[in-house]
Each structure stands twice: as structure tokens, then as C-alpha cells.
Structure 1
Amino acid sequence: MEKFTHVRIVMGMIVSLGLTHMLKGLSSAIQHPSQKNIYPIHMAWVASLILNILQFWWWEFNLREIPVWTFGIYIYLIFYAFIIYLMCAMLFPDSLRDYADYRDYFMSRRAWFFGLAFAESVIDIGDSFIKGELHVASLGDMYWVKTAAFAVGCLFAIRTRNQIYHASFVALNLLAQLLFVANLTWSHA
């Protein structure tokens, strides 16, 4: 249990920096909406990533069930937290000086953002298996469908600037996240 507590603290520090970055970016956009040229698709990904972070923190509590901790598991989980932080950093850059607005920025950096999102979805599968067979079984079929669809969607998002695709992808992703949370909430009630 001591190793779990240690790993949880380190992961929490990294992911909380990402969440702080997101909240700071949101705060700035709210304070100065005309200066930031808010882009709805970007903001929808912000909402999705915040929900993702909250789910991540919730699910990482299941790591307490790991009977034997290794340095490999520790590094894997810390890498997972790094990916989440980098995704947060990609959504809110330090400056938009080199870009017309958030749409220009997001589209120019979409390969990075969706590459990281793809990696995060693959890493999440490993994270689920680290937590054990019972945890994997508890996720149900919806987890696998959602994860596969998201990963494929990320690969397409890297390649296209089509606004209809990007709006549809983020909307479906948010819907899938909410349905997944609702399903797990009701099934464990």
C-alpha cells in the first residue's frame, strides 16, 4: 500500500499540473473572450480532456489492488500521466502570437494533439490490464468499442482539417465519455 500511495502522489502531481493548465487556459478565455477568439471545437476538446482527467483520477484508485509493484509498472504509469499533461499543454499554448486564433493553432497542432490522444488510448488499455482481470472484466464491451473507435478517430483527425469531421468527432467522443460514465455509475449502484 505504501508504494501505491507514493505512485499515486507522483501521478497526481503531474496530472494536477495538467488540470491546472487547463483551468488557467479556460479562465483566460473567459476573462478575455475577444482576445482569444474562442473556437468551439477546441473548447469541446478542453471539456473532454477535463472529463478524461477526472475519470483517470477515479480509475487510478484501482491501482491499490496491485499486489506487487515493480519499477516497470511505476514508469508505465508515470508515462501515462506525462501523456495526459502534454495533451493539456497542447490545448493551451503559452502564447497564440504565431497564430491567428485558437482554430489556426488547433488545426496546426492537431497531429501532436491527436497523436498524444491516440497514445493515451493505447496506454489506457495497458493501465487497465495492470489493474487486473477483474477490473478489465468490469469495464465491459463498451470500453473496448469506445477505445477502438477513439483510436481510429484520432488517426483520421491527424490527417484532416475538415471542420465537420472534427466537430462530429469531439461531439461523439463527449457523448461516449458521458455514456461510459453513466453506464458504470448505474451498473455499480
Structure 2
Amino acid sequence: MPQPPLPSPEIFQHVRIIMGMVVGLSVARLLNGLVRIIQHPGQTRVYPVHIGWVLTLLLMLMHFWWWEFWLVTLHSWTFEIYLFLIIYAIILFFLSAFLFPDTISDYTGYEDFFISRRKWFFSFFALSVVFDLIDTLLKGSAHYALFSAEYWFRVPVYLVLCGVAIVSANRRFHMAFVSLGLVYEVSWILRHFETLS
């Protein structure tokens, strides 16, 4: 016999703690990778596109954590919603791990590593865009109304760019993609992060 949906405040706190653990692992992985580059600058060649995605992902993780607070308005919880959110957080962790693996000794540097592993990174990035869309719809019409038409433009554009990034190793495209993505993420934060009220 299925369980009835559980009340929101207690479940939200529980889910937020678990999501926080996964997000914390993601942030730690990115920060440890950056510190390792600073500590051993001559050990591995740095690639600006790789660093750009590291910074973009750090902003995305902050974005994710800030906007998940909207889930407090969710009236009831189910295991499916809980599982969806945990998988979303895990996708973000995978993105962090793809940027900073345990070792890149099989590659000549971060450029060689990033370009050769781009299919995995951008497949998961596209998946995170789809999960973000579902997450936004889960939070209700009031939350979705904050973004309206821009959101429906943003989602397909990101998916198309991810598709191109998967099939193309063109360095100029990758530099343009990460540059525009980072600027857009900063713009999004400046325009939408002032308050949750």
C-alpha cells in the first residue's frame, strides 16, 4: 500500500541536508582541483576553457543551492521527488568529477584531457539543463513566472550548444561557449539572486 505524501517542513529539512552533502562534495572537488593547480603550477598545463567551466560550475552549484530553498513551498513530498533531487545533485557532482579526475597522467594536460572527455562532460551538462527545467516546474507557477520567456529560450539554446560541444573539438567554439556561458551565469545571478521573497 503506497504511503501518503509527507508534510513539507520536516521533509524539506531532511532532503536539504542530503542534497547539501552531495553539493558540498562537488564544491570541495572543484576547489581542491583549483588549489592543486595553484600549488603545482608546473605540474600540468592549464587550459582556459577548462578553468572557465570550473568557475561556471562553481556558480551553478551556488545557484542550485540558493534556488533549492524554494522547495520549502512544496506542499507535499513523495519518494519520487526526493529521488529526482538527489539524482540532480549527483549529476552536478559528476560534472565536478569530470573536470577534476583523480589523475590526468594519461593526458598531456588539461586541454588534452578536457577535449578528449568532452562527450561525457557535455552529455551530463545537457542532462543538468533538463533536470533544471523539471526542478523549476516542480516549484510551481509562481517560481516559473520569475523567468517566463527567457527560460524557454535558455533551455533549448543550452541543449543545442551542448550537442555541438559533444561532436566538435573546435577550440574557438569551446572558448566562445564557456565565455558566453560564464557571462550569462553571472548575469542570471545579478538579475535573479537579490531575494527569495
Question: Which of the five TM-score ranges fits, normalised by the shorter chain?
Answer: over 0.9
- Which 4+ stretches in 1 moved above 6 angstroms? 186-189
1:99 pairs, out of 107, 119, 131, with 107
Match of 2:82 in 1: 74
Match of 2:155 in 1: 147
Match of 2:3 in 1: none
2:71 pairs, out of 58, 63, 69, with 63
More helix, by proportion: 1
Match of 1:138 in 2: 146
Kindly state the Cα deviation for residue 176 of structure 1 after the two structures are TM-superposed. Answer: 1.2
Count of aligned residue pairs for this structure pair:
189
1:156 pairs, out of 140, 151, 164, with 164
What is the identity, as a one-letter code, of the residue corresponding to 2:78? T
| Alpha-carbon RMSD | 1.4
Kindly state the Cα deviation for residue 185 of structure 1 after the two structures are TM-superposed. Answer: 4.1
Match of 1:182 in 2: 190
**Matched residues in 2 for 1:188 and 1:72: separation?**
25
Match of 1:4 in 2: 12
**Unmatched 5+ stretches in structure 1:** none
TM-score calculated relative to the size of structure 1: 0.96
Provide closer, same or farther for how the CA distance between residues 186 and 56 of structure 1 changes in structure 2, counting only shifts above 3 A. Answer: closer
**Matched residues in 1 for 2:82 and 2:193: separation?**
28
What is the identity, as a one-letter code, of the residue corresponding to 1:151? L
- Secondary structure of 2:146 counterpart: helix
Provide closer, same or farther for how the CA distance between residues 94 and 186 of structure 1 changes in structure 2, counting only shifts above 3 A. Answer: closer
Kindly state the Cα deviation for residue 148 of structure 1 after the two structures are TM-superposed. Answer: 2.0
**Matched residues in 2 for 1:82 and 1:113: separation?**
13
Which whole-Å deviations, capped at 9, do the CAs of 1:18-47 have from their partners, x for residues lacking one?
110000000000111111211000000000
Indicate the percent of aligned positions where both proteins have the same amino acid: 41
The question of whether the paired residues in 2 share the 8 Å contact of 1:143 and 1:180 is answered with no
Larger Rg: 2
**Matched residues in 2 for 1:95 and 1:166: separation?**
23
